[in-house]
Amino acid sequence: MTSSTAVDHVANSDASAGDTSAEVAARPSPRTGNAVAALLALLVISIVVVIGLGPVVIPPDETARYLWAALTGGRIDADEVTTYQIIWQIRTPRVLLAAIVGAGLSAVGVAIQSLVRNALADPYVLGVSSGASVGAVAVTVAGGLSALGIYAISAGAFLGAMAAAALVYLVAYSRAGVTPLRLVLTGVVMSFGFQALMAVIIYFTPDSEATATMLFWSMGSFGAATWGGLPVVAAVVLVGVVVLHWHGRTLDVLTFGDEASTSLGVDTIGVRRRLFVITSLVTGAMVAVSGAVAFVGLVVPHVVRIVVGASHHRVLVVAPLASAVFMVWVDLISRTLVAPRELPLGVITALVGVPVFLALMRRRGYLFGGR
């Protein structure tokens, strides 16, 4: 029995006993459709508005006109070239990257929380971000991958992230496979190890550029967004979100625990391995272009579950859109609040995420998957 048919079996069994929560969770929800429509509209509006905001403010209608001209090859006046360049070459790739990374963080957060059955899990719990930081700092200090030009540090970060993910998996693996507890504990411990290694590299190479690189990868920024790097991360995140959504019912089963999942015909070892690879690749791609952005992949999935329910098919549609909208506005605050300086993204997301998470903890009826 496949994982998908296993969940169908659960729903059918529940149906014979009456209208249960598992059956209700599998039904299409008008609330989910309304949330998706509203968030899509809000995302488009937010992108257009935020692209026009900054030290040079451009009205939304003018911003839309410039974007339309760029997309259709339309003509603009000679005295508008500078404004057009600001809109299309500088702000648009940055805002789009914010939306893409926001969507990816939330989708991976949803999957990781089910994968390790831990309400406190986020995309970085498995040590991927710390490994990316080591890779980025190592490239900065050693000057490797110079053939890649401006993408050398991002490539180093991605390679570091993948190496960290592979190492965590190998260390956590046992004869019984990779259990959620071993995976989380290994990821947390290895994260401390990678952070220590990064500190040692910087200590013995007192370079201001290396220190700035460490801060960037530790706190996050979209300042390095370019049209050249955007398609790659967009493709990886899009494919990752689609694949995770396709595994939605499997993620539902995993929340029951390994014994229950196995009894329903789910290959927990194989599923966990596939999901680990998918989430690691998506996280590595995002960290390589934006650094580590805290709390988004942790808090947003919980908020969305309150609105649309616990079904992963619903959450994995709504949560990426909600996070995309959120990150677009977070990036605006990051680049305008203390302009011309730029606040790290992690500072803003933490200031928002901490009180929201504490409020969720005190909210009656929401148990974070436990009691």
Range with lowest mean pLDDT among 14-18, 74-78, 290-294, 344-348? 14-18
In a domain, 33, yes or no: no
Task: Answer yes or no: is 145 within a domain.
Answer: yes
pTM here is: 0.85
In a domain, 45, yes or no: no
- Do the domain assignments include residue 202? yes
Query: Do the domain assignments include residue 156?
Result: yes
Proportion of the chain above pLDDT 90, given as a percent: 35
Residue 253 lies in a domain: yes
The CB density around residue 185, as the number of other CB atoms within 10 Å, is 14
143-152, 205-214, 273-282: range with lowest mean pLDDT: 205-214
Instruction: Give me 130's structure tokens.
Output: 């710390």
- Strand-pairing partners, residue 174, are 177
Asked if residue 148 has pLDDT above 80, the reply is no
* pLDDT value of residue 278: 92
Q: What pLDDT is stored for residue 365 in this prediction?
A: 56
**Average pLDDT in the chain:** 83
Task: Evaluate whether residue 60 is within a structural domain.
Answer: no
Q: Give the 3-state secondary structure of the chain.
A: CCHHHHHHHHHHHHHHHCCCHHHHHHCCCHHHHHHHHHHHHHHHHHHHHHHCCCCCCCCHHHHHHHHHHHHHCCCCCHHHHHHHHHHHHHHHHHHHHHHHHHHHHHHHHHHHHHHCCCCCCCCCCCCHHHHHHHHHHHHHHHCCCHHHHHHHHHHHHHHHHHHHHHHHHHHHCECCECCHHHHHHHHHHHHHHHHHHHHHHHHHCCCHHHHHHHHHHHHCCCCCCCCCCHHHHHHHHHHHHHHHHHCHHHHHHHCCCHHHHHHCCCCHHHHHHHHHHHHHHHHHHHHHHHCCCCCHHHHHHHHHHHHHCCCHHHHHHHHHHHHHHHHHHHHHHHHHCCCCCCCCHHHHHHHHHHHHHHHHHHCCCCCCCCC
Q: What pLDDT is recorded for position 78? A: 85
The rounded percent of the chain whose pLDDT value lies above 70 is 86
Q: What sign results for the dihedral spanned by CA atoms 265, 271, 273, 274?
A: positive
How many domains, in total, are found in the chain?
1
Dump pLDDT digits (tens) for 58-101.
999 999 999 999 999 888 888 889 999 999 999 999 999 999 99
How far apart (Å, rounded) are the C-alpha atoms in residues 5 and 19? 19
- Is the pLDDT assigned to residue 127 strictly greater than 70? yes
Rounded CA separation 217/342 (Å): 14
Confidence band of 23 (pLDDT split at 50, 70, 90): very low
Tell me the pLDDT tens digit for each residue of 185-220.
898 999 999 888 888 887 777 666 666 666 766 788
CATH of the domain at 295: 1.10.3470.10
243's CB contacts (< 8 A; 6+ apart) are 278
Per-residue pLDDT averaged across 31-51, rounded?
A: 92
Give the length of the chain.
371
Average pLDDT of span 223-230: 87
Distance between CA atoms of residues 327 and 351, nearest Å: 13
Cβ atoms of 349 and 295 closer than 8 Å: yes
- State residue 104's pLDDT score: 94
Place of tokens 């190496």: 163
Does 53 fall in a domain?
Answer: no
Domain that holds residue 311: 96-362
- Residue 172 in this model has a pLDDT that exceeds 90: no
Mean pLDDT of the 260-272 span = 78
Q: Copy the structure tokens of residue 153.
A: 């540090």
